[in-house]
Structure 1
Amino acid sequence: MGPGADGTPRRVLVVSADMGGGHHATGRALEESVERHWPGSEVRWVDTLDAMGGWVGPLFRRIYVANVQATPWMYEFFYSALWRHRWFAAASKATLAAWSGRRLATEVERFDPDLILSTYPIGSAGMSWLRRRRLLPVPVGAWVSDFAPHPFWLYRDLDATFLMHPAALPAAELAEPGIAARATVPTVERRYHPGDPQLERPELGLPADRFVVLVTCGAYAFGAVTEAVDALLAAPGAIQVVVACGRNERLRSALLARGLPGVRLLPLGWVPDTAPLVRAADLVVTNAGGATSLEALATGRPVVMFRPIAAHGAANAALMSLSGLAETCSTAAQLTALVSARAKAGGSGAESTAVKEYLDGHDPALDLPALAASTPPAPPPPTASGRIRPVRRAWPLRPPDSFFLHVQTRSITQQVGAVITAEPEPGAAPLTAEVLVDRIGAALPVLTTLRRRVVPRGGWLRPGWVVDPTIRVADHVHEVVVASEAEQAAALDRFWSEPVSLRRPPWQLLLVRRDDSDADGCRLAFKMHHSIGDGLSLIGTLDRILETPGRRALRRRGARRQRSRTVREVAFQASRVVRGMWELGTHAGAPRHPLNRELTANRRGVVTVPLPTEQVRAAARRHRVRSSEVLLGVLAEALHRAGVADGVGAPDRLRTMLPVAMASANGARTAGNQTGVVSVDLPVGPMTVTERIQRIRGDLHRRMDLGEPHAAAFVMRALGMFPAPVHAWMSQRVYSSQFFNMIASYIPGPLQQRRIAGHRLTAVYPVVALAEGVPLGIGIMRYAGVTGVCVLYDESLRGIAEPLAGALRSAFADALAEGR
């Protein structure tokens, strides 16, 4: 499914934590809702505690369990202090918000979501900090998986906080005045629905003629569980007590040691799917009031809170009882009496009517669309004179991103993009600028990359970016109708000669089509500023606008488990960076070559060459190298044949800068430069194609093994530690013909063909950015069945552009032949 006015696929970040099972359970329910509303969406999970540090999760879980089991008075004291002393709550929340916010910023940058759903209090705190400090520009919602919210759950900077009952709204307003709180119903997975207990029991092996009481106290199964079991066993009548012990094997072993028959006491271990078990019960006994209680209520089962655990457990029980949704028993005698009465009455009590009214009082399907439609705070617009105002709270550009802002000059624009050929399918309407504007406009609300505007942050701070709510897609999409191939080439040359404006989101799309009805297909040219992203980000951005037949309904990216690196791993990484730094330092300079020259101010040209991907792979197999290596060899041969190496004193090699992907976005990346660089010497003197390929392969592998890409990435990050003016000065010194003669890039694009508005995209030719004194850049991309090669050249090289394109074709044919 492609983007449209309704059901546009999204990138959703679920911020949860492994603290019990309730936070993840709520997250899974939200993930199901995302799938229903926006098929084809990509969902990524992040564990807040893991993001804060590999040691944080185990420590926090140990503290939580110890407080509940051993020192409940301390837990109650802390919980009460949050309510009694506003300064204490504010200080505690601010500390954890700053800690988690800084760590979660990396996850937000890496995934670039357009919607964030938090199910964990400290995760919500981090999102609140990012909204205040970095103008987090996408809608953020928090789901409180407890019945009674406490101050750590509540942040007014978020767009919406969903509480589980209207009775919780006054408490939320008291703890956080001005909070955008909304009442909903239990946010649980669809499998938790009402049903007939007698239909579930045969599958579970439970007797049909007994009153079944399920004791379930969350993943840790702590609290007065054994006391609850004793009270239930003391009740007269045919009562079966089923205990879900979760991951508490000690509790299960103790209950099994009693030796009671299963029809009286059935201790269970970890149950992956508790929904049938809850439906099979006549009564659910619990003690915390979190996700377990919400699942029981959603299933229509009566809930009894027995000796609630300290702090949030007691608060949940009080609010549930006040709302008429549960009963609370503080003593074993009360629980025994209640169960005896319920068993005689057949299970349901006075709360059944209240539960039904509660569940029918709100449609939870409205929650996510309402959140997604919310508008985060807008940054200040440029002044009437066009001057861009500093925005100190803007999201800081990462050092590799701001690097490309610093190396831009009046004559050299740092912009990357692609030239795309498209052919209409049978019966398709003509592709026009209006169609493209509508298509991009539909995707724009969920595509922050195309709404980003670069802004200064003032002082010596790195520039930042904000999301511009005033963007007009029609200002960025243009159409040119031409009469010939020559006019088409001239239109593309003009497009790549003009710099993108930094006074608005820096991207442009050009549609070039022929004016005669017999013309087959058209060309699209898309470009964006290099500070927004690299070639992989470009492909990820375009992919969200295009249609992909057979797109999966939901693409889930699980949370990455963080762990502390071992000393050996740290030492290996450090040694690799040191070796790479030595290689860069001892072989940094590029040979002086007549190719390098001062560039003509914003006058560029492009030439494209399609190569069959299957033949590229065949040539790689025959030469026993990778596809990228055989194509670099072909490029070196073509440069030799085109006469680039000609001239008195011209060296027989060209130092070429080759970007290398360094980090995975755990999904298609849509923003950011996450590449290192390896330099490779292309031999352009007399030799066979095979010799060139093998020489390039050896040089490339040697530099990769020495860690040159890792060292280059380290240098890029290290430069960002300096104040912005110093960072700019140093960036300009290292990004020039002093260190490389030309630029080349190989991008492994998607294998499946994409479509837009009834047109098949048949080939994609990536366009790289040039540098000071470097007039030639080669982009190569494998897409579907075509490997597209695009030559971007300065006007001063126009005379060799067409010969170079022809040489690429003939050199590739020879490479294919020589490898046989």
Structure 2
Amino acid sequence: MAIPGRTLPRSAPTGLLPVPRAVAPASGRVAIVSASVGAGHDGAAAELERRLVADGFAVDRYDLLDLLPAGFGRAVRDGYHRMLVAAPWAYQRIYAGTERAGGSGPLARALLRAAEDRVLRALRPDVGAVVSTYPGASRVLGELRRAGRLAVPVVTYLTDFSVHPLWVADGVDVHLAAHAVPAAQARAAGARDVRVCGPVTDPRFRPGGPDDRARARERFGLPAHAPLALLVAGSWGVGPVRQVARELRDCGAAVPVVVCGRNQVLARQLRADGIEYVYGWVDDMPGLMQAADVLVQNAGGLTSLEAFAAGLPVASYRCIPGHGPANAAALDEAGAAVWIRDPADLKSALCALVDGPLGLRQRAAGLALFARSPGDGPAAEIARVHRPGPPPPPPGPGPRRRPRARRLALTTAAACAVWGCAVGTGVATTYGGPALLHTLGHDLDPARLAPAFGEEGHHS
């Protein structure tokens, strides 16, 4: 988790910001605000940071959940988790409800307003641009910008291929999209300055040759010649993973290779089901992707983009509620991934992706997302809007602490609100509680909604 205000040592109102002809000088400071819900938002933030640091910028990373008042971030995350486990029908209702409403409920807005002062205090005085990789952070930063309290540009990097209205916040200067499909969705949701700049993924994800493939299979103990279907389900290993693994095995099109992330219970269950190649958290996902022939996924997040960069065809199948089908539809529309809607089509689709012309087309489409030069990428766009800030002032006394009574009151209110959202789902749904949780955590792998409760928590 990022530490507020720490520079990590790794390797204008909306629509009114001019687009300079040249990239800003490689100097100055950029802040990135993400959130530790799932791994996709933090993964995009880490790669943006790496690129900006390489261009000469100092970068501060913040976790929005750390900046919510009175420790509310942890309470929201835990309460949201409990709601997903106890009410598997709720997430789709939340997602659809906030999509129809075009944003979050009053409880979410109140909480995010409470974070504004803390976010503003955390930003260093010499920051020249602030980047969000999370919808809640975009809402906070956009409001600060719109109210004139934040004088430097705010950029939202859209980590999802589909764009929920929560992503588009008034006051954000620029929205960056990986492809024309999410860019069009962002414009339809009200974003005015939207720029297509390609995905951000770790540079270790790249296509491999036959020798890379052979070495990777040997390293992971995988069969040398069988077609392999890499099955992933987010950093928590959620969704109907056991069902999909059995279907992959039984259809005979490819041998399932399952990554369970931190979900040790799921890994044990899969081994008991007779699934031979099961892994927990995998540090060398680039190597595992070079070993595989096709990726099967259920959420359309960062792992899909990493597969595209590795030249691996992608299939969306049995998607988790909410953003799972939305991302699958957007990826399908973009021609980047196949969405298998009918289980009867699983074998034929996998065979076409592994050995047929469909796989060749999908590999080419995925790699084409990364065809832009570095000067046209997201880090370059951030550099273009960056405005060098003043030098930092000399150290002075820290901010005045809030009275203990007020902190206690906020903590109590937070606990009550989370309890209400997690337990009283019927009431919360009516009065906007789930919208709060969705705003703060819609990239939590919601297949905790799956029938197999208790299967929690792959890689980014």
TM bucket normalised to smaller: 0.7 to 0.9
- Counterpart position of 2:113: 98
Rounded to whole Å, the distance in 2 between the matches of 1:76 and 1:52 is 25
CA contact (8 A) 1:93 1:152 kept: no
Of 180, 185, 190, the match for 1:166: 180
- Counterpart position of 1:431: none
Counterpart code for 2:229: V
Counterpart code for 1:95: A
| Superposition map of 1:470-481 within 5 A | none
Rounded to whole Å, the distance in 1 between the matches of 2:108 and 2:195 is 21
CA distance change for structure 1 residues 134 and 372 in 2, over 3 Å: closer, same or farther?
same
Q: TM-score, normalised by structure 1?
A: 0.43
Give secondary structure in 2 for the equivalent of 1:267.
Answer: strand
CA contact (8 A) 2:313 2:353 kept: no
Of 154, 162, 183, the match for 2:168: 154
Tell me the CA shift for residue 675 of structure 1: 2.7
Rounded to whole Å, the distance in 1 between the matches of 2:338 and 2:110 is 37
Cα displacement string for residues 410-440 of structure 1 (whole angstroms, at most 9, x for unaligned residues): xxxxxxxxxxxxxxxxxxxxxxxxxxxxxxx
Counterpart code for 2:50: E
Tell me the CA shift for residue 68 of structure 1: 5.1
CA contact (8 A) 2:45 2:133 kept: yes
Residue 315 (structure 1) aligned with residue 326 (structure 2) = yes
- Counterpart position of 2:75: 59
Cα displacement string for residues 590-645 of structure 1 (whole angstroms, at most 9, x for unaligned residues): xxxxxxxxxxxxxxxxxxxxxxxxxxxxxxxxxxxxxxxxxxxxxxxxxxxxxxxx
Tell me the CA shift for residue 232 of structure 1: 0.5
CA contact (8 A) 1:185 1:362 kept: no
Rounded to whole Å, the distance in 1 between the matches of 2:86 and 2:308 is 30
Residue 269 (structure 1) aligned with residue 285 (structure 2) = no
Rounded to whole Å, the distance in 2 between the matches of 1:334 and 1:75 is 27
Residue 123 (structure 1) aligned with residue 134 (structure 2) = no
Give secondary structure in 1 for the equivalent of 2:268.
Answer: helix
CA distance change for structure 1 residues 362 and 254 in 2, over 3 Å: closer, same or farther?
same
Tell me the CA shift for residue 6 of structure 1: 7.1
Give secondary structure in 2 for the equivalent of 1:231.
Answer: helix
Relative contact order (alpha carbons < 8 A, sep ≥ 6): 1 or 2 greater? Answer: 2
Rounded to whole Å, the distance in 2 between the matches of 1:144 and 1:329 is 25
Counterpart code for 2:96: S
Cα displacement string for residues 449-505 of structure 1 (whole angstroms, at most 9, x for unaligned residues): 2xxxxxxxxxxxxxxxxxxxxxxxxxxxxxxxxxxxxxxxxxxxxxxxxxxxxxxxx
Of 145, 170, 187, the match for 2:200: 187
Tell me the CA shift for residue 92 of structure 1: 6.4
Residue 326 (structure 1) aligned with residue 337 (structure 2) = yes
| Superposition map of 1:761-772 within 5 A | none
Counterpart code for 2:121: T
| Superposition map of 1:499-518 within 5 A | none
- Counterpart position of 1:29: 47
Rounded to whole Å, the distance in 2 between the matches of 1:20 and 1:303 is 20
Rounded to whole Å, the distance in 1 between the matches of 2:105 and 2:73 is 23
Of 25, 32, 49, the match for 1:14: 32
Counterpart code for 1:248: N
How many correspondences in the alignment? 378
CA distance change for structure 1 residues 296 and 60 in 2, over 3 Å: closer, same or farther?
farther
| Superposition map of 1:401-800 within 5 A | 445-446=387-388, 448-449=389-390, 541=391, 670-671=392-393, 674-675=396-397
Tell me the CA shift for residue 54 of structure 1: 6.0
CA distance change for structure 1 residues 346 and 165 in 2, over 3 Å: closer, same or farther?
closer
Cα displacement string for residues 247-270 of structure 1 (whole angstroms, at most 9, x for unaligned residues): 11110111122345xxxx311111
| Superposition map of 1:9-408 within 5 A | 9-38=27-56, 41-53=57-69, 55-66=71-82, 71-86=87-102, 89=104, 91=106, 94-109=109-124, 112-176=126-190, 178-196=191-209, 197-236=213-252, 239-260=254-275, 265-343=276-354, 345=356, 348-360=359-371, 365-374=376-385
**Backbone CA RMSD of aligned residues:** 2.9
Tell me the CA shift for residue 53 of structure 1: 3.9
- Considering only CA atoms, is the larger Rg found in Structure 1 or Structure 2? 1
Over 6 Å off, 4+ runs: none
Give secondary structure in 1 for the equivalent of 2:385.
Answer: coil
Identical amino acids, percent of aligned pairs: 29
Counterpart code for 2:204: R
Tell me the CA shift for residue 671 of structure 1: 2.7
Give secondary structure in 2 for the equivalent of 1:213.
Answer: strand
Give secondary structure in 2 for the equivalent of 1:106.
Answer: helix
Tell me the CA shift for residue 335 of structure 1: 2.2
CA contact (8 A) 1:213 1:283 kept: yes
Counterpart code for 2:393: A
Tell me the CA shift for residue 367 of structure 1: 2.8
- Counterpart position of 1:810: none
CA distance change for structure 1 residues 54 and 227 in 2, over 3 Å: closer, same or farther?
farther
Identify, as 1 or 2, the structure richer in helix: 2
- Counterpart position of 2:17: none
Rounded to whole Å, the distance in 2 between the matches of 1:90 and 1:164 is 28
Rounded to whole Å, the distance in 2 between the matches of 1:90 and 1:324 is 34
CA contact (8 A) 1:29 1:188 kept: yes
CA distance change for structure 1 residues 354 and 714 in 2, over 3 Å: closer, same or farther?
closer
Cα displacement string for residues 98-147 of structure 1 (whole angstroms, at most 9, x for unaligned residues): 133222112114x6422222111111111112112243122321111111
Give secondary structure in 2 for the equivalent of 1:19.
Answer: coil
Rounded to whole Å, the distance in 2 between the matches of 1:345 and 1:282 is 12
Rounded to whole Å, the distance in 1 between the matches of 2:323 and 2:60 is 29
Deviating more after overlay: 199-208 vs 147-156:
199-208
CA contact (8 A) 2:229 2:296 kept: yes
CA distance change for structure 1 residues 80 and 43 in 2, over 3 Å: closer, same or farther?
same
Cα displacement string for residues 198-236 of structure 1 (whole angstroms, at most 9, x for unaligned residues): 353233332321111111111011111111101100122
CA distance change for structure 1 residues 343 and 69 in 2, over 3 Å: closer, same or farther?
farther
